[in-house]
Chains A and B, each alone.
Chain A
Amino acid sequence: DAGITQSPRYKITETGRQVTLMCHQTWSHSYMFWYRQDLGHGLRLIYYSAAADITDKGEVPDGYVVSRSKTENFPLTLESATRSQTSVYFCASSEGQGWYGYTFGSGTRLTVV
């Protein structure tokens, strides 16, 4: 089915471990985004990508790494997970910047213990 898929839906990891969250979209959208959603902070942009091999930092990029070797995939890696990275992570895609609407995945709930 067309859409945007995130995996896993739930993940528990230990402090210091590396973990990768996957995002795959079938819309062929140019832009992809990673957000984290926390109570009291709303949705905050971590990284975004305008096209394959082009990525840029958002509001809260520290501790995260992204790559985009293919248009349809945009994985987010936590290099050494910390408890402060416990959150719900959303991937989104869009045809472009500006007034284009974003299509969001269903999210990954990550707990760092």
Chain B
Amino acid sequence: TQLLEQSPQFLSIQEGENLTVYCNSSSVFSSLQWYRQEPGEGPVLLVTVVTGGEVKKLKRLTFQFGDARKDSSLHITAAQPGDTGLYLCAGVSDKLIFGTGTRLQVFP
């Protein structure tokens, strides 16, 4: 069974701080996706990273795919309350395998 472990599980920070969320697996994936889920809603796709070592930026969010395509990170610069939510990584094989999730709370 392919597993994706995310860390930390919970993160509570003040507005303006930087943070990094990690997504690790022992399996190699063809690509990896990041989703954000807000309370009462389904996950929404943020980005797909495909190539080992790839870095993608989405405003204040920076996503990186590990060289070996087994891990990924999400870095948020100057977090804002609107970034609050559950962040999920998902490894792509024949189906999506979702990570355990990181719940982020950003206080004003």
Interface residues of A, Cβ cutoff 8 Å to B: 33, 35, 42-43, 45, 48, 58, 90, 92, 97-99, 101-107
Which listed residue, A58, A97, A98, A104, touches B42 by the CB 8 Å rule?
A104
Distance between A64 CB and nearest chain B CB, rounded to angstroms: 16
Contact of A101 among B42, B45, B95, B101 (CB under 8 A): B45
Residues of B with C-beta under 8 A to A43: 43, 88, 98
How far apart are the CA atoms of A101 and B18 in the complex, in Å? 27
Whether A92 touches B42, Cβ cut-off 8 Å, given contacts A99-B48, A101-B33, A101-B48, is yes
User: Known contacts being A104-B43, A106-B41, A107-B41, is A99 close to B100, with CB within 8 Å?
Assistant: no
Interface of B: prevailing SS: loop
Q: Contacts A42-B101, A101-B48 hold; do A106 and B95 have CB atoms under 8 A apart?
A: no
What are some 24 contacts across the A-B interface (CB < 8 A)?
Answer: A35-B98, A42-B88, A42-B98, A42-B99, A42-B100, A43-B43, A45-B95, A45-B96, A90-B43, A97-B94, A97-B95, A98-B30, A98-B31, A101-B33, A101-B45, A102-B45, A102-B96, A103-B45, A104-B43, A104-B44, A106-B41, A106-B42, A107-B40, A107-B41
Interfacial chain B residues near A103, Cβ < 8 Å: 45
- Interface size class of chain B, counting residues whose CB lies under 8 Å from the partner chain: 20 to 34
Q: A104 to B98, alpha carbons, bound, how many Å?
A: 13
B contacts, CB < 8 Å to A: 30-31, 33, 40-45, 48, 50, 88, 92, 94-96, 98-101
Shortest B6–chain A CB gap in Å is 9
How far, in Å, is A34 (CB) from chain B's closest CB?
Answer: 12
| Distance (whole angstroms) from the CB of B35 to the closest CB of chain A | 8
